[in-house]
């Protein structure tokens, strides 16, 4: 017995020693690049970022910040160094296949082992170091999140709602959606998701008739201190969400050209009450379809299929080749601008997210494409866009004290891209370097 214990102790001590050695080796000095720290501050040339273990130790400039001898020097000359990006609206289980029903009936048993890990890896290689997954099989995402946290799989830090609650007695189409046809079931399932460690509750598919069910979900989540986000593509969904007091609404619908006055009045009342209202517009999936239709070649990019078995890759490629792209009229852009403006004028806070995983939005490209749409199509300042997809997103998730800016003491989620995204935004498409929690992945 004693012998057994001492062997275990020895193993523990040895692994502790090797962990410490690993941490000690993890000392990097990123030297020379233009620094965008994610706070919205103006960029700083000739920067130095010191990474020690999991954290950023110091940030300064050449000639002013000394570099200790035992730090591995990495030149970032000619590059921009910025915080790892966030994507707070993703669906890791999809990989851009246009036919959801086919995807679920064919690959559900491979979500935890193949498709979610593949999306996670693609995100990390694209410089996205934190995501929020809204609608995914709860058990599968918990398993993958644990493996990423242990360092067994490469991937971003995952926040998630787990399975989305659908307040309708619809047949179950996939374990990533839980139908809740009455208040009792809604309360029980909300409590179960919270007990399983979900960071948010997601609701979709509401109708006017489901108001009491949505109220029950929101009240149960809020009693437990958990926020709720709900689909709001249609005016009916938005009314139900606002009446129930959800924290955040998803999507901008383009079926109607403006929001009706009664909705805008409800939004105004909500803001005036002092409770903030957040909105996650996800416009890239609407505004990029013309590009997809005109130039589907970019979907064939091998990085969109990283870690996917050849059969799944072939399936996705064929489905894309067979798909018809529903190109939106140019007025879609005007509708989105008009609706965004009417929400912003009333004080709604926009949250970032790309709806990754849906058709044409593989994890390797989705985040950058959404951001680029905001910069080029909707006129957002690139520096503001970077702040939105870094420190603002971290603040929204309640972890701004730990991550989201290049500030001493925060987790070293750092990327470097060639050139300057302030001048050429597309440089964010393929980062040259990616660090997550101080570990270099690219």
Tell me how far apart the alpha carbons of residues 174 and 108 are, in angstroms, rounded to a whole number: 8
Closest distance between Zn ion and the C-beta of residue 135, in Å?
6
Closer residue to Zn ion, CB minimum distance, 190 or 229: 229
Strand-pair partners of 85 = 128
DSSP 351: -
Q: Considering the rule CB under 5 A, would residue 133 count as an interface residue with Zn ion? A: no
Closer residue to Zn ion, CB minimum distance, 26 or 282: 282
Interface with Zn ion (CB under 5 A), residue total 1
Q: CB–CB of 335/254 below 8 Å?
A: yes
Take residue 240 and report the two structure tokens written for it: 């139900």
Q: What are phi and psi of 13, to 5 degrees?
A: -65, -40
Closest distance between Zn ion and the C-beta of residue 134, in Å?
5
Q: CB–CB of 251/222 below 8 Å?
A: no
- Segment near Zn ion (CB under 5 A), from 12-20, 36-44, 125-133, 355-363? 355-363
Closer residue to Zn ion, CB minimum distance, 140 or 413: 140
Tell me how far apart the alpha carbons of residues 51 and 32 are, in angstroms, rounded to a whole number: 14
Options 355, 365, 392, 413; binder of Zn ion; rule CB under 5 A: 355
Closest distance between Zn ion and the C-beta of residue 89, in Å?
6
- Segment near Zn ion (CB under 5 A), from 232-240, 306-314, 353-361, 414-422? 353-361
Closest distance between Zn ion and the C-beta of residue 266, in Å?
23
In which residue are the tokens 């620094």 written? 35
Closer residue to Zn ion, CB minimum distance, 117 or 232: 232
Closest distance between Zn ion and the C-beta of residue 298, in Å?
21
Q: Considering the rule CB under 5 A, would residue 356 count as an interface residue with Zn ion? A: no
What is the number of the residue whose Cβ is closest to Zn ion?
355
Tell me how far apart the alpha carbons of residues 241 and 228 are, in angstroms, rounded to a whole number: 10
Tell me how far apart the alpha carbons of residues 16 and 154 are, in angstroms, rounded to a whole number: 22
Tell me how far apart the alpha carbons of residues 398 and 351 are, in angstroms, rounded to a whole number: 13
Closer residue to Zn ion, CB minimum distance, 37 or 356: 356
Please name which of 193, 204, 281, 282 lies closest in space to residue 246, comparing C-alpha atoms: 204
Closest distance between Zn ion and the C-beta of residue 356, in Å?
8
Instruction: Name the site residues for Zn ion (rule: CB under 5 A).
Output: 355
């Amino acid at each position: 017995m004693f012998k057994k214990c001492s062997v275990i102790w020895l193993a523990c001590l040895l692994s502790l020693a090797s962990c410490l050695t690993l941490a000690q080796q993890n000392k990097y000095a990123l030297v020379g690049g233009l620094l965008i720290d994610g706070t919205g501050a103006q960029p700083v040339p000739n920067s130095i970022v010191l990474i020690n273990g999991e954290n950023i130790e110091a940030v300064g400039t050449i000639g002013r910040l000394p570099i200790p001898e035992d730090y591995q020097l990495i030149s970032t000359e000619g590059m921009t160094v910025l915080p790892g990006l966030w994507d707070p609206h993703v669906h890791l289980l999809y990989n851009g296949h246009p036919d959801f029903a086919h995807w679920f009936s064919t690959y559900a048993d491979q979500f935890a082992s193949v498709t979610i890990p593949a999306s996670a890896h693609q995100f990390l290689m694209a410089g996205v170091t934190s995501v929020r997954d809204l609608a995914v099989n709860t058990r599968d995402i918990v398993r993958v999140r644990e493996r990423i946290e242990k360092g067994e799989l490469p991937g971003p830090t995952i926040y998630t709602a787990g399975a989305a609650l659908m307040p309708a007695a619809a047949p179950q189409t996939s374990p990533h959606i839980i139908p809740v046809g009455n208040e009792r079931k809604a309360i029980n399932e909300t409590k179960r998701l919270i007990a399983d460690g979900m960071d948010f509750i997601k609701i979709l598919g509401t109708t006017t008739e489901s108001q009491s069910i949505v109220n029950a979900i929101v009240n149960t989540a809020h009693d437990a201190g958990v926020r709720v986000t709900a689909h709001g593509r249609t005016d009916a969904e938005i009314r139900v969400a606002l009446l129930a007091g959800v924290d955040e609404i998803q999507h901008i619908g383009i079926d109607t050209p403006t929001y009706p006055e009664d909705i805008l009045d409800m939004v105004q009342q909500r803001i005036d009450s002092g409770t903030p209202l957040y909105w996650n517009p996800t416009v890239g999936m609407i505004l990029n379809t013309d590009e997809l239709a005109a130039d589907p070649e970019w979907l064939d990019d091998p990085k969109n299929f990283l870690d996917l078995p050849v059969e799944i890759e072939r399936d996705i490629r064929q489905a894309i080749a067979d798909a018809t792209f529903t190109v939106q009229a140019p007025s879609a852009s005007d509708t989105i601008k008009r609706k965004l403006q009417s929400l912003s004028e009333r004080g709604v806070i926009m949250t970032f997210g790309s709806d990754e995983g849906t058709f044409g939005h593989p994890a390797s490209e989705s985040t950058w494409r959404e951001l680029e749409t905001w910069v080029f199509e909707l006129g957002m300042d690139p520096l503001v866009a970077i702040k939105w997809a870094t420190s603002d997103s971290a603040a929204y998730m309640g972890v701004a004290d730990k991550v989201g800016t290049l500030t001493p003491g925060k987790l070293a989620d750092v990327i470097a891209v060639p050139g300057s995204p302030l001048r050429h935004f597309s440089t964010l498409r393929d980062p040259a370097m990616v660090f997550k929690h101080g570990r270099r992945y690219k």
